[in-house]
């Protein structure tokens, strides 16, 4: 894990470190297994192509959602917390595609003792095609507390 980030260190417009990766079929199988998901579009290529008309099996929407959450929770560190997370699945992703998960700070505020940071987040692929736009609210610790 990276060093803990503190509320005081964050400014509007800051970008969180992006997560960039390709999802392969084995990982998709493990995600289906870990979520008890038997939906054929995630493992049955002939079903995905022949019956549903996709070019290949589909990377699970919830896996993309989890990867974007991972980018956020990696950034907030051990003492930060994910408070609210809202994303919409807008496009499909396929195994072997380069996926990127990003976030930008859009604001910060305090509610009592709680220090909150607002983020605009998204997942994308290719030349920047948006897979998932969203927002997140995280809490961060203050220095010296």
Residues recorded for the chain? 145
Two tokens at 73?
Answer: 């929770």
For residues 60 and 66, what is the distance between their CA atoms, to the nearest angstrom? 10
Decide whether 44 or 97 has the Cβ nearer to other proteins: 44
Q: Is 40 in the site for other proteins (CB under 8 A)?
A: yes
Q: Select the residue interacting with other proteins from 25, 45, 47, 108 (CB under 8 A).
A: 47
Q: Is 30 in the site for other proteins (CB under 8 A)?
A: yes
Binding to other proteins (CB under 8 A) within 77-106 occurs at 78-79, 81-89, 92
Measuring CA to CA, how many Å separate 95 from each of 60, 64, 103, 113? 10, 12, 23, 43
78: region left, alpha or beta (phi > 0 left; psi from -120 to 50 alpha): alpha
Q: Which is nearer to other proteins, 40 or 120 (CB)?
A: 40
Binding site for other proteins (CB under 8 A): 1, 21, 27, 30-31, 33-36, 38-41, 44, 47, 51-53, 58, 60-63, 65-67, 69-70, 73-74, 78-79, 81-89, 92, 132, 134
């Amino acid at each position: 894990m990276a060093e803990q980030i503190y509320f005081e260190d964050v400014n509007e417009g800051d970008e969180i470190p992006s997560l960039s990766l390709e999802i392969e079929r084995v990982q998709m199988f493990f995600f289906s297994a870990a979520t008890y998901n038997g939906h054929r579009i995630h493992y049955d290529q002939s079903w995905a192509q022949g019956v549903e008309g996709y070019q290949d099996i589909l990377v699970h929407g919830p896996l993309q959602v989890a990867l974007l959450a991972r980018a956020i929770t990696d950034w907030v560190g051990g003492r930060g917390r994910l408070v609210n997370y809202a994303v919409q699945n807008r496009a499909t992703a396929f195994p072997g595609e380069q996926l990127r998960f990003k976030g930008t700070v859009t604001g910060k505020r305090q509610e009592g003792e709680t220090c909150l940071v607002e983020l605009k987040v998204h997942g994308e692929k290719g030349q920047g095609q948006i897979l998932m736009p969203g927002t997140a609210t995280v809490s961060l610790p203050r220095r010296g507390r």
